[in-house]
Amino acid sequence: MLHIKTIVLTLTLMLISSVMFAQNTLSLDSIISIIKANNPELKVYQERMKSQDALVSGASAWMAPMLGIGTFMTPYNNFSRAGNQQDGSIMLVAEQKIANKSKIRANEAYLKAQSNITAQLNAESFNDLRALARSNYYDVLTIEKSINYLSKNLLVLQNLKKLSEIRYTYNKAGLAQIYSMQAKIYEIENQITSAKANLEIGKIKLNTLMNRDKYLDFQIDTALSFKTYIIQNNLNETVNNRSSIKLVNEQINSINLENKMIATEAKPEFSVQFNHMQTYNTVNPNQFSLMGSLSIPIAPWAAKSYQSKLKANQFEVAAMQFQKENVTNNLLGLIATQQKHLMHMQMELDTYKDKILPTMQKSYEVLLLNYQENKEELTTVLTAFKELNDSELVYLMKLNEYYQTLTEYERNVEQ
């Protein structure tokens, strides 16, 4: 019975530890999702969009009515007279300006456009944060792989040192060679320590992007398969879908809508005024007046204001069109260059992985076997080992360079 309980407890602990490990392992997609939900930089844009959307509901508001009180046709010596001999009236004034519907519609469309601009700024900011997350993630990934390489090579050196010490007791190995090997062991241990420090720095950067505790530890998906780039055949369509291009389009659209709003200033505005005069005496009758007024904004001295704004915005739109052309041209050239660069880098990585590293591994293994059979010197084995170790690290460096270029490429082709 006790044996069964022990087994159940062991299985439970194993299950809990496996779940905890699974929860502690973050894939690249999971990190990007957390960044999208928690990063404060994106929340700034989201709250700003809510603020701008809230302004749209007030676009149809009219100006507040005007109320006034005063005297009407009242002599200066009026109040020194008897009440039934006083002239003039107390005047109550109410005035309302009637909003022009075309102005309301133009203002509403302009305010809606501001939210669209912020939405594209949010998309561009997320694109930058996503690229930064990928860059840091690939850094951590290659550092993890380098630690695995170095740990494996450290174990090989330690075993080789033990073998040399055994051979030294039989006068078949030199003491200098053992010291040289120990120095190489220290060197690799130092490289592992440095790599672990860089690993912690990379995780701090990712935690910062996720807006979490900076020292919260987690594992990455080291089983991530080699990611190849996707060739973008229709580059013009790809570039036009970029958030940076859409941002310029929204800004141009906003200025055009602003021009429509400014153009409505040339339309007349109406106002209605009602006046009620309450006489001071009971002899004269009470009076009223009802007056409508119409503004004439096309008068030359009044039209200068909105005409100059329209002209300035036309120049601004032309400038933004050239800005869009410049961004598009640069992106097309950059994407095409990166595609060629990635193709060359991928071929180089395939050569390292399929030819260079396996060949050097076989060469090292043959030399090690010959050394064990007293057919080769230890210095030759160590030289082959160093070349293999250096080539493995060069491969990882090139792999990281490939991933960083891929990250920048994806940043340029994604929306």
- Tens digit of pLDDT per residue, the chain (415 long)? 445 544 444 544 454 444 444 448 888 999 999 999 999 999 999 999 999 888 888 877 888 889 999 988 888 887 777 767 778 888 999 998 888 888 888 888 888 899 999 999 999 999 999 999 999 999 999 999 999 989 988 998 888 888 888 877 777 667 887 888 888 899 999 999 999 999 999 999 999 999 999 999 999 887 776 777 777 778 888 888 888 889 999 999 999 988 888 888 888 888 999 999 988 887 788 898 999 888 887 777 777 777 888 888 889 899 999 999 999 999 999 998 999 999 999 999 999 999 999 999 999 889 888 888 888 887 888 888 888 888 988 999 999 999 999 999 998 887 5
Q: How many CA atoms lie within 13 A of 300 on its CB side?
A: 0
> If DSSP states are collapsed to H, E and C, what string results for the chain?
CHHHHHHHHHHHHHHHHHHHHHHHEECHHHHHHHHHHHCHHHHHHHHHHHHHHHHHCCCCCCCCCEEEEEEECCCCCHHHCCHHHCCCEEEEEEEEEECCHHHHHHHHHHHHHHHHHHHHHHHHHHHHHHHHHHHHHHHHHHHHHHHHHHHHHHHHHHHHHHHHHHHHHCCCCCHHHHHHHHHHHHHHHHHHHHHHHHHHHHHHHHHHHCCCCCCCCCEECCCCCCCCCCCCCCHHHHHHCCHHHHHHHHHHHHHHHHHHHHHHHHCCCEEEEEEEEEECCCCCCCEEEEEEEECCCCCHHHHHHHHHHHHHHHHHHHHHHHHHHHHHHHHHHHHHHHHHHHHHHHHHHHHHHHHHHHHHHHHHHHHHHHHHCCCCCHHHHHHHHHHHHHHHHHHHHHHHHHHHHHHHHHHHHCC
Q: Which amino acid makes up residue 313?
A: N
**73 vs 279: CA distance, rounded Å:** 10
CB-neighbour burial class of residue 107 (10 A; exposed 0-12, middle 13-18, buried 19+)? buried
- pLDDT (0 to 100) of residue 352: 92
- pLDDT (0 to 100) of residue 20: 42
- pLDDT (0 to 100) of residue 21: 42
- pLDDT (0 to 100) of residue 300: 78
- pLDDT (0 to 100) of residue 400: 92
Provide the token pair at 162. 């033990």
Residue whose C-alpha is closest to residue 133's, from 410, 372, 379, 415: 410
